Chains A and B, each alone.
Chain A
Amino acid sequence: EIVMTQTPLSLPVTPGEPASISCRSSRSLFESADGNTYLDWYLHKPGQSPQLLIYALSYRASGVPDRFSGSGSGTDFTLKISRVEAEDVGVYYCMQRLEFPYNFGQGTRLEIK
Protein backbone atom coordinates (compact mmCIF):
# COMPACT_ATOMS: atom_id res chain seq x y z
CA GLU A 1 0.00 0.00 0.00
CA ILE A 2 1.03 3.61 -0.55
CA VAL A 3 2.49 5.28 2.54
CA MET A 4 2.11 9.03 3.05
CA THR A 5 4.66 11.03 5.07
CA GLN A 6 4.13 14.64 6.12
CA THR A 7 6.58 17.22 7.44
CA PRO A 8 6.64 19.04 9.72
CA LEU A 9 4.30 17.49 12.26
CA SER A 10 3.97 20.80 14.10
CA LEU A 11 3.98 24.24 12.53
CA PRO A 12 3.82 27.43 14.60
CA VAL A 13 3.10 30.44 12.41
CA THR A 14 2.71 34.17 12.99
CA PRO A 15 -0.53 35.58 11.53
CA GLY A 16 0.06 37.16 8.15
CA GLU A 17 3.12 35.02 7.48
CA PRO A 18 3.24 32.22 4.90
CA ALA A 19 3.22 28.54 5.77
CA SER A 20 4.17 25.41 3.88
CA ILE A 21 3.48 21.72 4.54
CA SER A 22 5.19 18.89 2.68
CA CYS A 23 3.82 15.48 1.87
CA ARG A 24 5.62 12.58 0.26
CA SER A 25 4.14 9.36 -1.09
CA SER A 26 5.94 6.03 -1.35
CA ARG A 27 4.86 5.74 -5.00
CA SER A 28 3.92 8.21 -7.68
CA LEU A 29 0.33 9.41 -7.45
CA PHE A 30 0.18 10.38 -11.13
CA GLU A 31 -2.29 8.42 -13.23
CA SER A 32 -1.14 8.54 -16.83
CA ALA A 33 -4.49 7.22 -18.08
CA ASP A 34 -6.28 10.45 -17.20
CA GLY A 35 -3.45 12.88 -16.39
CA ASN A 36 -4.60 13.39 -12.79
CA THR A 37 -2.54 13.29 -9.64
CA TYR A 38 -4.62 11.73 -6.88
CA LEU A 39 -3.49 13.77 -3.92
CA ASP A 40 -5.88 15.73 -1.72
CA TRP A 41 -5.48 18.01 1.29
CA TYR A 42 -7.88 18.21 4.22
CA LEU A 43 -8.09 20.49 7.23
CA HIS A 44 -9.44 19.21 10.53
CA LYS A 45 -10.31 22.17 12.72
CA PRO A 46 -10.80 21.68 16.46
CA GLY A 47 -14.30 20.46 17.26
CA GLN A 48 -15.33 20.20 13.60
CA SER A 49 -15.45 17.54 10.93
CA PRO A 50 -12.58 17.42 8.43
CA GLN A 51 -13.03 19.60 5.36
CA LEU A 52 -11.67 19.28 1.85
CA LEU A 53 -9.21 22.02 0.89
CA ILE A 54 -7.46 20.85 -2.27
CA TYR A 55 -8.26 17.94 -4.58
CA ALA A 56 -6.34 16.31 -7.41
CA LEU A 57 -3.09 18.06 -6.43
CA SER A 58 -4.00 21.66 -7.06
CA TYR A 59 -7.73 22.33 -7.37
CA ARG A 60 -9.28 24.33 -4.54
CA ALA A 61 -12.54 22.97 -3.20
CA SER A 62 -15.63 25.15 -3.24
CA GLY A 63 -15.41 28.03 -0.78
CA VAL A 64 -11.72 27.59 0.00
CA PRO A 65 -9.86 30.92 0.10
CA ASP A 66 -7.29 31.52 -2.62
CA ARG A 67 -4.53 31.89 -0.02
CA PHE A 68 -4.45 28.07 -0.06
CA SER A 69 -2.65 26.39 -2.92
CA GLY A 70 -1.45 22.89 -3.71
CA SER A 71 1.47 21.90 -5.90
CA GLY A 72 3.95 19.14 -6.62
CA SER A 73 4.34 16.12 -8.81
CA GLY A 74 4.97 12.41 -8.68
CA THR A 75 5.76 11.69 -5.04
CA ASP A 76 6.41 15.15 -3.57
CA PHE A 77 3.68 17.61 -2.76
CA THR A 78 3.24 20.92 -0.96
CA LEU A 79 0.36 22.81 0.57
CA LYS A 80 1.02 26.52 0.87
CA ILE A 81 -0.85 29.18 2.77
CA SER A 82 0.18 32.59 1.49
CA ARG A 83 -0.86 34.50 4.62
CA VAL A 84 -1.95 32.55 7.67
CA GLU A 85 -5.05 33.68 9.51
CA ALA A 86 -6.23 32.68 12.98
CA GLU A 87 -9.03 30.58 11.47
CA ASP A 88 -6.48 28.34 9.72
CA VAL A 89 -5.59 26.61 13.00
CA GLY A 90 -6.04 22.85 12.93
CA VAL A 91 -4.47 19.68 11.61
CA TYR A 92 -3.72 19.39 7.91
CA TYR A 93 -3.69 16.01 6.20
CA CYS A 94 -2.65 14.89 2.77
CA MET A 95 -4.36 11.81 1.41
CA GLN A 96 -3.73 9.60 -1.61
CA ARG A 97 -6.64 8.37 -3.71
CA LEU A 98 -4.74 6.62 -6.46
CA GLU A 99 -5.40 3.12 -5.20
CA PHE A 100 -7.02 1.20 -2.35
CA PRO A 101 -6.42 1.41 0.50
CA TYR A 102 -6.54 5.18 0.53
CA ASN A 103 -4.15 6.58 3.14
CA PHE A 104 -3.71 9.81 5.04
CA GLY A 105 -0.45 11.35 6.13
CA GLN A 106 0.19 11.64 9.87
CA GLY A 107 -1.10 15.19 9.96
CA THR A 108 0.54 18.59 10.52
CA ARG A 109 -0.73 20.67 13.41
CA LEU A 110 -0.72 24.38 12.55
CA GLU A 111 -0.81 26.73 15.51
CA ILE A 112 -0.68 30.47 15.80
CA LYS A 113 2.37 31.98 17.51
Chain B
Amino acid sequence: EVQLVQSGAEVKKPGEFLKISCQGSGYSFSSYWIGWVRQMPGKGLEWMGMIYPGDSDTRYSPSFQGRVTISADKSLKIAYLQWSSLKAADTALYYCTRRGSPQLGSAFDYWGQGALVTVSS
Protein backbone atom coordinates (compact mmCIF):
# COMPACT_ATOMS: atom_id res chain seq x y z
CA GLU B 1 0.00 0.00 0.00
CA VAL B 2 1.36 3.39 -1.03
CA GLN B 3 1.70 5.76 1.92
CA LEU B 4 3.13 9.20 2.49
CA VAL B 5 3.63 9.94 6.18
CA GLN B 6 4.53 13.46 7.18
CA SER B 7 6.24 14.72 10.30
CA GLY B 8 4.17 16.29 13.04
CA ALA B 9 2.92 19.76 13.79
CA GLU B 10 5.52 22.42 14.53
CA VAL B 11 5.38 25.66 16.49
CA LYS B 12 8.28 27.99 15.76
CA LYS B 13 9.34 31.59 16.21
CA PRO B 14 10.07 34.02 13.38
CA GLY B 15 13.63 33.68 12.13
CA GLU B 16 13.98 30.05 13.17
CA PHE B 17 15.03 27.13 10.93
CA LEU B 18 12.58 24.35 10.15
CA LYS B 19 12.73 21.15 8.12
CA ILE B 20 9.64 18.99 7.73
CA SER B 21 9.60 15.55 6.19
CA CYS B 22 7.51 13.19 4.10
CA GLN B 23 8.33 9.48 4.15
CA GLY B 24 7.17 7.31 1.31
CA SER B 25 6.48 3.59 1.49
CA GLY B 26 4.86 0.88 -0.57
CA TYR B 27 6.38 1.96 -3.89
CA SER B 28 9.70 2.75 -5.57
CA PHE B 29 10.37 6.10 -3.90
CA SER B 30 13.17 7.09 -6.27
CA SER B 31 10.98 6.79 -9.35
CA TYR B 32 8.18 9.23 -8.58
CA TRP B 33 8.17 12.99 -8.18
CA ILE B 34 7.16 14.31 -4.75
CA GLY B 35 5.42 17.67 -4.66
CA TRP B 36 4.68 20.09 -1.85
CA VAL B 37 1.45 22.05 -1.53
CA ARG B 38 0.64 24.87 0.89
CA GLN B 39 -2.71 25.79 2.37
CA MET B 40 -2.70 29.00 4.35
CA PRO B 41 -5.47 29.46 6.96
CA GLY B 42 -8.80 29.88 5.22
CA LYS B 43 -7.19 29.84 1.77
CA GLY B 44 -6.86 27.51 -1.18
CA LEU B 45 -4.16 25.10 -2.31
CA GLU B 46 -0.89 26.46 -3.69
CA TRP B 47 1.66 24.36 -5.55
CA MET B 48 5.12 25.06 -4.13
CA GLY B 49 7.46 22.77 -6.02
CA MET B 50 8.55 19.20 -6.48
CA ILE B 51 11.54 16.90 -6.53
CA TYR B 52 12.48 13.70 -8.31
CA PRO B 53 14.26 11.68 -5.62
CA GLY B 54 16.09 9.54 -8.16
CA ASP B 55 18.34 12.39 -9.29
CA SER B 56 17.19 15.28 -7.05
CA ASP B 57 15.91 17.27 -10.03
CA THR B 58 13.89 20.03 -8.35
CA ARG B 59 11.38 22.55 -9.66
CA TYR B 60 9.99 25.51 -7.74
CA SER B 61 7.08 27.82 -8.20
CA PRO B 62 8.40 31.38 -8.59
CA SER B 63 6.28 32.29 -5.58
CA PHE B 64 8.39 30.03 -3.38
CA GLN B 65 11.79 30.05 -5.11
CA GLY B 66 14.39 31.29 -2.67
CA ARG B 67 12.02 31.05 0.28
CA VAL B 68 12.08 27.29 0.76
CA THR B 69 14.34 24.38 -0.12
CA ILE B 70 13.05 21.03 -1.29
CA SER B 71 15.32 18.01 -0.94
CA ALA B 72 15.16 14.25 -0.72
CA ASP B 73 17.16 11.30 0.62
CA LYS B 74 16.35 8.40 -1.64
CA SER B 75 18.08 5.88 0.62
CA LEU B 76 15.81 6.84 3.50
CA LYS B 77 12.81 7.37 1.18
CA ILE B 78 12.18 10.79 2.67
CA ALA B 79 11.47 14.15 1.04
CA TYR B 80 12.01 17.39 2.90
CA LEU B 81 10.77 20.96 2.87
CA GLN B 82 12.86 23.48 4.77
CA TRP B 83 12.98 27.13 5.69
CA SER B 84 16.17 28.83 6.84
CA SER B 85 14.35 31.74 8.45
CA LEU B 86 10.63 31.41 9.12
CA LYS B 87 8.14 34.25 8.92
CA ALA B 88 4.68 34.53 10.40
CA ALA B 89 3.35 34.33 6.83
CA ASP B 90 4.69 30.76 6.62
CA THR B 91 1.97 29.65 9.04
CA ALA B 92 0.06 27.05 7.03
CA LEU B 93 -0.77 23.41 6.47
CA TYR B 94 1.75 21.73 4.19
CA TYR B 95 1.01 18.60 2.19
CA CYS B 96 3.37 16.33 0.32
CA THR B 97 1.99 14.44 -2.63
CA ARG B 98 3.23 11.87 -5.14
CA ARG B 99 2.99 12.40 -8.86
CA GLY B 100 1.72 9.10 -10.23
CA SER B 101 2.82 7.00 -13.16
CA PRO B 102 2.49 8.19 -16.76
CA GLN B 103 0.21 5.23 -17.40
CA LEU B 104 -2.26 6.79 -14.99
CA GLY B 105 -1.85 10.35 -16.17
CA SER B 106 0.95 11.42 -13.82
CA ALA B 107 -1.47 13.31 -11.60
CA PHE B 108 -0.97 13.64 -7.86
CA ASP B 109 -2.48 10.38 -6.73
CA TYR B 110 -1.34 9.99 -3.11
CA TRP B 111 -1.16 12.64 -0.42
CA GLY B 112 0.38 12.89 3.01
CA GLN B 113 -1.76 13.72 6.01
CA GLY B 114 -0.49 17.28 6.16
CA ALA B 115 1.85 19.06 8.58
CA LEU B 116 0.69 22.19 10.38
CA VAL B 117 3.38 24.82 10.79
CA THR B 118 2.67 27.71 13.14
CA VAL B 119 5.09 30.63 13.28
CA SER B 120 4.47 33.06 16.10
CA SER B 121 6.51 35.18 18.44
Contact = CB atoms under 8 A, between A and B. Distances in A.
Question: Is B truly associated with A?
Answer: yes
Interface of A: 1, 36, 40, 42, 44, 49-52, 55-56, 59, 61-62, 91, 93, 95, 97, 100-107
A49 B73 CA distance: 24
Contacts of A105: 44
B107 A44 contact: no
A55 B104 CA distance: 8
B119 to A, nearest CB: 22
Contacts of A44: 45
Interface centre among B61, B105, B106, B109 (most CB of A within 10 A): B105
Contacts of B35: 102
Contacts of A102: 35, 47, 50, 61
A56 B61 contact: no
B17 to A, nearest CB: 25
Given A49-B95, A50-B111, A93-B44, A101 B60 contact: yes
Contacts of B108: 40, 42, 50, 52, 95
B62 A49 contact: no
**4 closest A-B pairs by CB:** A55-B107, A55-B105, A101-B61, A49-B111
Contact of B111 (A1, A36, A51, A103): A51
B112 A59 contact: no
B107 A50 contact: no
